[in-house]
């Protein structure tokens, strides 16, 4: 028996019943389907971006959809930074 003929643990090797082989094939298909689904989800950039936007939006608003205090602080900081950049560029 060569290394290629030696069954690996859990493989459909000699001494297994057809039912065991079919169960092994079904389990392998299920694992492969899960892997393909995971890869598909990872490659779906639009869905990942939408999930991130929803997460950030939820963290910056209260239950009624109004901005929270940290959101207002961030908005004020961004406005201040924008004003500073515009002011500095106008002085050149």
pTM over 0.85? The answer is no
How far is residue 58's CA from residue 11's CA, in Å, rounded to a whole number? 47
pLDDT (tens digit per residue) in 41-72: 999 999 999 999 999 888 888 888 888 888 88
Q: Is the dihedral of CA 22, 24, 27, 31 positive or negative?
A: negative
Residue 60 CA, chain-centre distance (Å), reads 21
pLDDT (tens digit per residue) in 2-42: 555 445 555 556 788 999 999 999 999 999 999 999 999 99
Contacts of 71 (CB under 8 A, 6+ apart): 60, 61
């Amino acid at each position: 028996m060569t290394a290629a003929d030696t069954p690996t643990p859990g493989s459909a090797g000699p001494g297994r019943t057809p039912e065991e082989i079919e169960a092994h094939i079904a389990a392998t298909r299920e694992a492969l389907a899960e892997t393909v689904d995971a890869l598909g989800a990872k490659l779906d950039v639009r869905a990942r971006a939408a999930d991130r936007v929803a997460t950030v939006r939820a963290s910056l608003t209260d239950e009624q959809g109004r901005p929270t205090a940290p959101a207002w602080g961030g908005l004020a900081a961004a406005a201040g930074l924008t004003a500073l950049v515009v002011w500095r560029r106008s002085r050149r």
